[in-house]
A and B are shown apart, each in its own frame.
Chain A
Amino acid sequence: MHSETTDPMLSVSGLNVFHANLQVVWDLSLHVDKGELVTLIGPNGAGKTTTVETIVGLNKKASGSITFLGENILGMHPYDLFHKGLALVPEKREIFPKMPVIENLMLGARDRTDYSASLNHVYSLFPILKERERQMAGTLSGGEQQMLTIGRALMSNPKLLILDEPSTGLSPLLVGQVFRSLEQLGREGITVLLLEQNVRHALNMCHRGYVLENGRIIKEGKAKELMHDPHIQKAYLGF
């Protein structure tokens, strides 16, 4: 396991989450240390999105504890968490369709007066967004909208970046690019929690992983070990 000298950025323990009266996450514990890239994998319906929505304050029906940089954040407002440096790339994109690309990006900035460096960074990652700067976001193609969603989250220079299936709908070339840019961000010191159906890529890129099935963590470990786990190979890698 992890040595005590590392810095816990995010620590979740004994988390239970409900949708209406239905419990979908059970006694979940996980941690992401500073500078770590961690992946949470699991089949569709396992509760991955519910878990990260709870972490960023979007789901209030939860018990247990969630600490971010040492502070208990369970129940805090998403907006306050955003200003503390927590950014989510949501599964459902949630862009503003009637606003141009550039304004969607500006909304992602924590500092609305000085964002030109972040904007240049995002544009170098996804040049098509610069080309389409003035186009209404709702008329972008699906993959372009996905790039916009990732770009918007990066605009806030987050301390912890949580990505809910960022490669969804992207061409193989862009999937490669997104993963390489995440690796690059990791080298620059950003901390990442990644939810991803592309399990092979996720395990290749991340240091550690958790496996969530039916709302419970059933396995955790170093990414390299999980890659060779027979259950994971069969259920997630399609062997």
Chain B
Amino acid sequence: MLSIRGLTKQIGGLCAVNGVDLSLGDNEIVGLVGPNGAGKTTLLNMISGISVPTAGTIIFCGEEITGLRAHQICKKGIAKTFQIAESFPGLTALECTMIGALFGNHRKISMGEAKFEAAQILDFVSFPQEKRETIIKNLNVVELKKVQLARALASKPKLLLLDELTTGLNPKESNEAVELIKKIRDNGVSILIIEHVMSVIMGVSNRIVVLDHGEKIAEGHPYEVVNNQKVIDTYLGDMHAF
């Protein structure tokens, strides 16, 4: 479904992402981890068209999408969650989700359809019924995360990119997010997920890729990767850290 070759992003003198190869199959969840500043977000931004690679190729469903703009890539079926709190503080939860349905989509749909679909998706992520008309800036963290996810799902993606979705959630709330992510996968969506909470990564990933200083330093089955000494030294630290 997704195949990346030699992807690179040079920012001034810094190579934020350096020659990364990565592939993702149908119905697969791949976890992307690595130290803070390793280049994970930059990699996701290149896949979603927010940032343009300086070298390398991205092939999605057999078609090269390298360097396309964000809205074009979204219409091809790749959605990424982003910080809506900063972008649309004054919209309601429902309106925010409708934006995903109206603009992130290859289909043309009416306002009424968008509203209907948005409501269904908010149900799917179990967003509280009584807060649908609440404006974004008055939502709590858990509710915000649900709207972020709903907005991305409303564009009906084939590939979902999640950047630290569970950051700021407690272990119980994170466990609920894990169940939701699996449910999304079971509906036929492939997922590339960045997360620092190892219980989340271990709970959902079929495979884990580790970046450090922009380069891939390990890849494999979750249990192989967490026992890799290089990964322990650069990323995990001693075991009591998680």
Asked if B167 and A168 sit within 8 Å, CB to CB, the answer is yes
**What CA separation (Å) do A122 and B234 show in the bound complex?**
20
What class of interface size applies to chain A in its complex with B?
Answer: 20 to 34
Asked if B170 and A236 sit within 8 Å, CB to CB, the answer is yes
A182 to chain B, nearest CB (A): 13
Asked if A144 and B241 sit within 8 Å, CB to CB, the answer is no
Asked if A147 and B36 sit within 8 Å, CB to CB, the answer is yes
Asked if B235 and A143 sit within 8 Å, CB to CB, the answer is no
What class of interface size applies to chain B in its complex with A?
Answer: 20 to 34
> Which residue in chain B gives the minimum CB-CB distance to A177?
B237
- B130 at the binding interface (Cβ < 8 Å): no
Asked if B167 and A44 sit within 8 Å, CB to CB, the answer is no
Asked if B172 and A238 sit within 8 Å, CB to CB, the answer is yes
Asked if A172 and B172 sit within 8 Å, CB to CB, the answer is no
A-B contact count (CB 8 A): 95
Most buried by B among A43, A140, A200, A234: A43
Question: B173 contacts which chain A residues (CB < 8 A)?
Answer: 43-44
Asked if B36 and A141 sit within 8 Å, CB to CB, the answer is yes
Question: B198 contacts which chain A residues (CB < 8 A)?
Answer: 172
What are 10 A-B interface contacts by the 8 Å CB criterion? Answer: A44-B170, A44-B173, A128-B37, A143-B37, A143-B196, A146-B36, A147-B36, A169-B164, A172-B196, A174-B35
Asked if B35 and A171 sit within 8 Å, CB to CB, the answer is yes
- B206 at the binding interface (Cβ < 8 Å): no
B95 to chain A, nearest CB (A): 21
Asked if B36 and A169 sit within 8 Å, CB to CB, the answer is yes
B120 to chain A, nearest CB (A): 25
